[in-house]
Amino acid sequence: MSVFSVRHLTEYRYHRPVAFGEHRLMFRPRDSYDQRLLAARLTTSPAAEQRWLHDVFGNCVTLLRFAGRAKTLVIETEIRLEHTPFAGPDFRTDEAALTYPFDYAAEDRADLGRTIDRHYPDPDGAVARWARQFVAQGRPIATGTLLMTLCYAIRESFTYSRRHEPGTQPPAVTLHLRRGTCRDFALFMMEAVRSLGFAARFVTGYVYVADRDGDATLGGGSTHAWCQVYVPGAGWVEFDPTNGIVGSRDLIRVAVARDPEQAVPLCGSYHGAAEDERGMRVQVNVTTETIEEISETGPED
């Protein structure tokens, strides 16, 4: 078991004082069997009224309302949580879903609904063809092997490229360029497995990178994104095609959604001219400490 600490700082700068519209923030991790929130803190400058709610996916959302004007807006969050990696490459699967193709049970399909449907155009079927190349025609393939192969293929044959423009590029564009961000790769894998009939959803959060541990001055840190695929018997299994991670190792889950646009870590607005904006700075640091699990035993005879 490890304890992760995450500090996430976002700073917006303006040439003159501007007013701020409502900001929507996702930073509080989802409590689960593999991660348990220990502490969370949110500070802003200027100060803001904070309101909390759960969205339709059960994610914790913070709404910020600011009064007055300022030349700088700073939003800083800090979280600390226990993390126990789960569901690696040996994740268990119901017997009926051990090999692909298989059908979801009717009661599962009713609730999985739109997470199975494809969401983005694939006019010439390129994304579907890319996914189908890993399926042997006329022969079943182990479901876990298929999904892991798709994940690793993206890791090995696509190039990660940081992009500062907002939004996520369409999966067909990611395939054509063979290049993208973690959000692009997560969405591409989602649409690829959806073309094969799997249910998939988007995850936003943080990733722990060992060689950055403790470096408070490192620039360029950011939030991370990956996807989950629903496998009967194993549930929602994490797949990070950017790093080739299967399972929750080093991944801190904050929010899940059917589409990336529903899980933007921070969004908001300001009231002023476009030329008022001077730029922004984002700093994310993830550090860890290892906790030894101790089990109690009775006295020896």
CA quadruple 188, 256, 247, 208: dihedral positive or negative?
positive
- Given CA atoms 280, 286, 287, 291 in this order, what sign does their dihedral have? positive
pLDDT at 300 over 50: no
Nearest Cα residue to 257 out of 108, 114, 50: 114
Coil vs helix vs strand at 287: strand
pLDDT of residue 295: 39
pLDDT in tens, 257-289: 999 999 999 999 999 999 999 999 999 999 988
Chain-centre distance for alpha carbon 230:
15
Average pLDDT, stretch 107-111?
96
pLDDT of 21 strictly over 80: yes
Neighbouring C-alpha atoms within 13 Å toward the C-beta of 59: 24
- Beta carbons of 273 and 14 less than 8 angstroms apart: no
258-289 burial: b if 16+ Cβ within 10 Å, else e: bebebbbbbebebebeeeeeeeeebbbbbbbe
**pTM of the full structure:** 0.91
Average pLDDT over residues 250-259: 96
Provide the b/e sequence for 200-212 (b: ≥16 CB within 10 Å).
bbbbbbbbbeeee
